[in-house]
Amino acid sequence: RVGGCLGNGLIGMPVASRPCMAALLLLTLLCAQLLPLASTTALLVVNDGSDVVELLTPIQAKVPAGERWTGNLGANELALHLESPTWPSALSVDVAPGRYAVVVIAPNNSVFTHDANDLQVELSNAAHACEATRGQGESPWMDCLARAAFGGVPRNFAGSAWTALWEDYSYWHLCEAAAPAAAVRTLEARSGHQVEVLQDSPLVVAVRGFLNESDCQGLMGMLGKDELTRAHVGGSGSTGTSDARETLTKNMFINWGEDNLLSSTSARFFDIASELFGTEIPYEGQEPINFLHYLRGFEYRPHTDGGAEFLGKRVATSLVYCEAASRGGATVFPSPSVQLRFVPRPGDMLFFRYEPSPADALHAACPVVEGKKSTLTQWYRLGVSSAEPWHKFENWGDYHNPHGKSRWRGERYGRPSSLEL
């Protein structure tokens, strides 16, 4: 998939130095993010029922009892019609659009459908069950994975789905099995919050319990979850949806002219970010808070938020986790030189900057396995203002902030000195 985006010029490229490899990795990920959503669906039918099951439309196939069948469905072929001698009548089953779908006929002849997110979680469960075989090599481990998923699936299907949904073992292990990052040292912010330095370069810190439950519930109550839309990724002159960013979102525009929960919370974001960054980051002219809601299987594949510290460009990111998944949903940094896994608790903030090595600020939101996750994302820029807002420094299309000219009248920064990080 990525090869088609990059072209054939990379084939046969000699091994590069680490900086070149990092740049190539980022380019590959960017191409993957900007490609459109899948137009065909790989279908797996698992027949654990008591008799043969026949697929009638839109494809024709017979799946004997105890067997598995794989095929492909087009974008307009997601309504399956099945029948079996033991059923009173033919059955219609709707398959969710996406890269993969699984239809399981249970031993009692009940029929269940699973989408790509369900398959990803099932493969993760199988990978946990097969951890002991990993030391025997890739082939025995993949054999075990294929046997464990859905009671046994074709090995080639398991292998292709694993690569598409988890990339590779190292990324899965970082998301699901690696030990959470431990603090290098702990400091106290001016606000009294404990700041855990998880990494020095690029700087990654956790501020535990930054928002309390009441504030989080109040902020999420402003949203109206029925108004959430599929998240976009930025491109040249526009943005678009992508399989790489599977989450629901809504922007929260700050009216700096009003002192309310949203504006006062945002002021707290900028105050502690300025303390951590070591310079005063302007309140006005910034991107809105980006609320992200992750359901089971939702994720955001490895990506970077920004690069070198140019005027008006993003220089740092903070995430506040108002809801944390009961399993999965970690934030990881998977670059070759940084391997870090942060497991949040509700109310925690994660802050990181990009310099001195933006490639090492590569990060990802791992798939939610159980529960749900909701985050408040703020990107920080230097040199912006209400007169020179952030979108003037980007080529992402037209943008309207209804409160773009508002200014904060409350306390700003105080008289802080930066934390000695």
**Residue whose C-alpha is closest to residue 161's, from 78, 113, 100:** 100
Q: What is the pTM of this model?
A: 0.85
> Within its chain, how far is the Cα of 109 from the centroid?
36
Task: Identify residue 84 by its one-letter amino acid code.
Answer: S
Work out whether strand 79-83 and strand 91-94 pair parallel, antiparallel, or are unpaired: antiparallel
In order along its 421 residues, the chain shows pLDDT tens digits of: 233 333 322 222 333 333 443 443 444 344 344 334 457 899 999 999 999 999 999 999 999 999 999 999 998 888 999 999 999 999 999 998 889 999 999 999 999 999 999 999 999 999 999 999 999 999 999 999 999 999 999 999 999 999 999 999 999 999 999 999 999 999 999 999 999 999 999 999 999 999 999 999 999 999 877 778 877 554 444 445 566 778 999 999 999 999 999 999 999 999 999 999 999 999 999 999 999 999 999 999 999 999 888 999 999 999 999 999 999 999 999 999 999 999 999 999 999 999 999 999 999 999 999 999 999 999 999 999 999 999 999 998 778 999 999 999 998 886 544 566 6
User: Considering only CA atoms, which of 381, 351, 357 is closest in space to residue 26?
Assistant: 357
DSSP state of 183: P
Nearest CA to 360 among 400, 404, 307, 396?
307
Task: Evaluate the omega torsion of the peptide bond into residue 140 and state whether it is cis, within 30 degrees of 0.
Answer: no
Helix (H) / strand (E) element for 27: namely helix 18-34
Report cis status (omega within 30 of 0) of the bond before 58.
Answer: yes
